[in-house]
Amino acid sequence: MVAITSIASYCSVVALLIIQGTQGCIIHARQDSSSGNGTALPPADFMTIGTDGLAPPETLGYAINHFSLIVSNLTASKEFYGNVLGMRHMFTAQLSPHYSVTYMGHAHGGRNGTGYQTGAELLREKNNANGMIEFQYFAGSADVNITATTRRPNTFSHIGLIVPSLADAEKRMLQYGVTISKRIGLGAQGIESVENAFGFGPYVTTNETERELLIQGQEWVGFSQLLGIEDPDGNFIEVQQLVPPPGVA
């Protein structure tokens, strides 16, 4: 997630980048010290815009294809990512009597915007698609306490989902009884599941001042305007709008 406190300053940055090419720039915050709602404005240099040049030519064609989750209930995960989030079941490979691998993805490479595809068609395009999800399922596993991101920080933080309308998405999640960690308009402070998923919960630091700064930093990037939900295993999903609301980019 990347967000800008001032859209006007963001536009200035973009223009400056176009003029300066790869020389970089500094985002300038407004001169007053408050946003008007009691939230301190970020320092002028809180965000650094990348100045990388062209990617190495040897990486032409590289793309993040999928991510994988170990799930505790394959049926529940397929229901959530399929019927609720709209991903389509591509295949399930039963690799042993108790271990299977399942792939799901949005049709035509993403966004479900260009019509129906069969599982066979999705599978045919598997290595030319982005944003797929893989479920590793161990039936009858003795380990029934898989630690999700909302329960304790780990190397996996969250999944990012783009939707046309945050308000409509929130209504849909309520309709399906999805666990909503953070409603639109709420910040992260005091929501333990959110704090854990973003790495600033009590497992990370007991210094309250430091935690307040970490939470404040999330507000600098417009976190309160996003929606936070959980999958059946408790993994955090950050829902963003295709056209960001004011203050979020």
pTM of the model: 0.76
CATH number belonging to domain 66-138: 3.10.180.10
pLDDT band at 45 (very low <50, low <70, confident <90, very high): confident
Q: What does the pLDDT look like over 205-236, one tens digit per residue?
A: 665 566 666 666 666 666 778 899 999 999 99
Domains 66-138 and 158-241 agree in fold: yes
Of 26-40, 77-91, 104-118, where does mean pLDDT reach its minimum? 26-40
Question: Could you say which architecture CATH assigns to the domain 158-241?
Answer: Roll (3.10)
Q: Which of 1-10, 49-58, 196-205, 220-229 has the lowest mean pLDDT?
A: 1-10
Task: List the structure tokens of 143.
Answer: 């380990």
Query: In terms of pLDDT, which residue wins out, 193 or 13?
Result: 193
Instruction: Please check the confidence at residue 133 and state whether its pLDDT lies above 80.
Output: yes
Q: Where are the domains of the chain?
A: 7-54, 66-138, 158-241
- Percent of the chain at pLDDT > 90 equals 38
Model confidence over 173-207: pLDDT tens digits?
999 999 999 998 887 777 888 878 877 766 666 65
Q: Which of 20-24, 81-85, 156-160 has the highest mean pLDDT?
A: 81-85
